[in-house]
Structure 1
Amino acid sequence: MPTILGQNQYGKAENRVVKITRDGDTHHIKDLNVSVALSGDMEEVHYSGSNANVLPTDTTKNTVFAFAKEHGIESAEQFGIHLARHFVTSQEPIKRARIRVEEYTWERIETSDNNSRFIGSDEVKHSFVRKGQEVRTSQITFDGENWEVISGMKDLTVMNSTNSEFWGYVKDKYTTLQEAYDRILATTVQAAWRFNWTSDEQRMPNWERSYAEAKKHLLQAFAETYSLSLQQTLYQMGSRVINSRSEIDEVRLSLPNKHHFLVDLEPFGLKNDNEVYFAADRPYGLIEGTVLRDGVEARIPVDHTNL
Structure 2
Amino acid sequence: MPITILGQNQYGKAENRVVKITRDGATHRIKDLNVSVALSGDLDDVHYSGSNANVLPTDTTKNTVFAFAKEHGIDSAEQFGMALARHFVEETEPISTARIRIEEYAWERIATPEGEAPHSFVRQGRETRTAQITYDGTGFQILSGLKGLTVLNSTDSEFWGYIKDRYTTLKEDYDRILATDVSAVWRHEWSGRDGEEAPEWQSSYESVREIMLGAFARTYSLSLQQTLYRMGAEVIEGKPELAEIRFAMPNKHHFKVDLEPFGVKNETADGAVYIAADRPYGLIEATVLRDGAEALIPLDLTNL
TM-score, normalisation: structure 2: 0.97
Superposition misfits of 4+ residues, deviation over 3 angstroms: none
Residues 242, 251 of structure 1: 8 Å contact kept: yes
- The CA distance in 1 between the partners of 2:274 and 2:301, in whole Å, is 31
Residues in 1 aligned to 2:234 and 2:51: alpha-carbon distance in whole angstroms: 51
> How far, CA to CA, are the matches of 2:299 and 2:229 in structure 1?
16
For structure 2, the residue ranges without an aligned partner over 5 or more in a row are none
The counterpart of 2:294, out of the listed 285, 294, 297, is 297
Q: What SS does structure 2 have at the residue aligned with 1:178?
A: coil
Distance 1:2 1:235 in 2: 46
Over residues 115-154 of structure 1, what are the superposed CA-to-partner deviations in whole Å (9 max), with x where a residue is unaligned? x3xx47xxx1000000111100000000000110001001
Residue identity in the other structure for 1:265: L
Q: Does 1:39 align with 2:36?
A: no
The reply to whether residue 135 of structure 1 matches residue 128 of structure 2 is: yes
Once residues 304 and 84 of structure 1 are traced to their aligned partners in structure 2, the CA distance between those partners, rounded to angstroms, is 21
Aligned residues: 299
**Residue type matched to 1:282 in 2?**
R
- 1:304 positional shift: 1.6
Distance apart, 1:214 and its partner CA:
0.4
> What are the equivalent positions in structure 2 for 1:244-255 lying under 5 Å apart?
244-255=238-249
> Corresponding residue for 1:48?
49
SS of the aligned residue for 1:204 comes to coil
- Within the candidate set 156, 170, 175, 2:163 is matched to 170
- For residue 304 of structure 1, give the secondary structure of its aligned residue in structure 2: coil
Q: Distance in 1 between matches of 2:243 and 2:218?
A: 22
Distance in 1 separating the partners of 2:139 and 2:295: 17
* Correspondence 1:206-285 to 2 at 5 A: 206-274=200-268, 275-285=272-282
Are 1:164 and 1:227, in contact at CA under 8 Å, matched by a contact in 2?
Answer: yes
Q: Deviations over 1:247-288 (max 9, x none)?
A: 111000000000000111111111111210011000000000
60-69 vs 198-207, greater mean Cα deviation? 198-207
1:149 equivalent in structure 2: 142
SS at match of 1:305: coil
* RMSD (Å) for aligned C-alpha atoms: 0.9
Distance 1:201 1:109, change over 3 A: farther
Alignment of 1:121-132 (within 5 A): 124-132=117-125
Q: Check whether the contact 1:154–1:305 (CA below 8 A) recurs between aligned residues.
A: no
Please name the residue that 1:16 is paired with: 17
**In structure 2, what is the Cα distance between the partners aligned to 1:305 and 1:71?**
29
How far residue 201 of structure 1 moved from its aligned partner, in angstroms, is 4.8
Measure the CA separation in 2 of the matches of 1:196 and 1:295: 13
Q: CA deviation at 1:305?
A: 2.4
Equivalent residue number for residue 27 of structure 1: 28
Give the Cα–Cα distance (whole angstroms) in 2 for the partners of residues 201 and 302 of structure 1: 30
Q: Where do residues 100-139 of structure 1 align in structure 2 (5 Å cutoff)?
A: 100-112=101-113, 116=114, 119=115, 124-139=117-132
Structure 1 unaligned spans of 5+ = none
User: What corresponds to 2:97 in structure 1?
Assistant: 96
Mapped to 2, the partners of 1:44 and 1:249 lie a distance apart of 38
Give the distance between the partners of 2:80 and 2:196, measured in 1 at CA: 17
1:251/1:290 contact within 8 Å kept: yes
The AA in structure 2 aligned to 1:81 is: M
Percent identity over the alignment? 70
The residue aligned with 1:85 is: 86
Q: Determine helix, strand or coil for the equivalent of 2:111.
A: coil
